[in-house]
Structure 1
Amino acid sequence: MTNNIEWPKQKRGLIAILRGITPTEAAAVADVLIGEGFESLEVPLNSPDPFRSIEIIAMNHSNHALVGGGTILSIDHVDQVANAGGRLMVSPNMRPNVIKRANERGMVTMPGVLTPSEAFNALDAGASGLKFFPASIIGPQGISALMAVLPKGVIVGAVGGVGAGNMLDYNRAGVTTFGIGSAVYRPGDNASAVRIKARELVAAYDKTLC
Structure 2
Amino acid sequence: MSRNRHTDLERLFDTGIVGILRGVPAEKTVDVADALVAGGVDVIEVTADTDGALDTIARLRETFDRSEALVGAGTVLDSDTAGAALRAGASFVVTPNFDEEVVRTCNRYGAVVAPGVMTPTEAVNAYEAGADVLKIFPASTLGPGHLRSIKGPLDQLPLVPTGGVSLDNVEAFVGAGADAVGVGSGLVDGEAVANEDYEALTERAEAFRGAIDDARE
Match of residue 61 from structure 1: 64
Q: Residue 213 of structure 2 aligns with which residue?
A: 206
CA distance in 1, matches of 2:48, 2:65: 18
1:89 aligned residue: 93
Separation in 2, partners of 1:178, 1:43: 15
How far has the Cα of 1:62 moved from its partner? 4.6
User: Aligned equivalents of 2:109 and 2:28: distance in 1?
Assistant: 27
From 135, 140, 164, the counterpart of 1:136? 140
Pick from 109, 112, 116 the counterpart of residue 116 of structure 2: 112
1:13 aligns with 2:16: yes
**Aligned-partner Cα distance in 2 for 1:125–1:170:** 25
Match for 1:75 among 64, 76, 79? 79
Instruction: Give CA-to-partner distance per residue, 1:30-83, whole Å, 9 cap, x none.
Output: 111112111210000111110111111111225123211100011111111111
Q: Give the distance between the partners of 1:157 and 1:45, measured in 2 at CA.
A: 19
Partner of residue 47, structure 2: 44
Q: Is the 8 A contact 2:48 2:73 kept in 1?
A: yes
Counterparts of 2:90 and 2:111, CA distance in 1: 8
Query: Would you say the 8 A contact 2:47–2:76 is kept in 1?
Result: yes
Equivalent of 2:181, from 173, 178, 181?
178
Cα distance in 1 between the residues matched to 2:163 and 2:86:
25
Which deviates more, 191-200 or 120-129?
A: 191-200
In angstroms, what is the RMSD of aligned CA positions?
Answer: 1.6
1:18-37 map, 5 Å = 18-37=21-40
Q: Which residue of 2 aligns with 1:149?
A: 153
More helix as a share of residues: 2
Deviation per CA, 1:92-125: give whole Å up to 9, x if none: 0001111110111221111100001110111011
Aligned residues: 205
Give deviations 1:171-199, integer Å, cap 9, x for gaps.
22111201010011144612233223222
What is the rounded CA distance, in whole Å, between the counterparts of 2:176 and 2:155 in structure 1? 15
For residues 23 and 209 of structure 1, the distance between their equivalents in structure 2, rounded to whole angstroms, comes to 35
Q: Quote the Cα distance in structure 2 between the aligned partners of 1:125 and 1:86.
A: 21
CA contact (8 A) 1:20 1:186 kept: no
| Structure 2, unaligned runs of 5 or more | none
Q: Secondary structure at the match of 1:81?
A: helix
Distance in 2 between the 1:167 and 1:94 partners? Answer: 24
- Structure 1 residue runs without a partner (length 5+): none
1:156 alignment partner AA: L
Q: Which amino acid aligns with 1:15?
A: V
CA 1:151–1:144 in 2, change beyond 3 Å: closer, same or farther?
A: closer
**Contact 1:93/1:113 (8 A) holds in 2:** yes
8 A Cα contact 2:175 2:216, kept in partner: no
SS at match of 2:9: coil
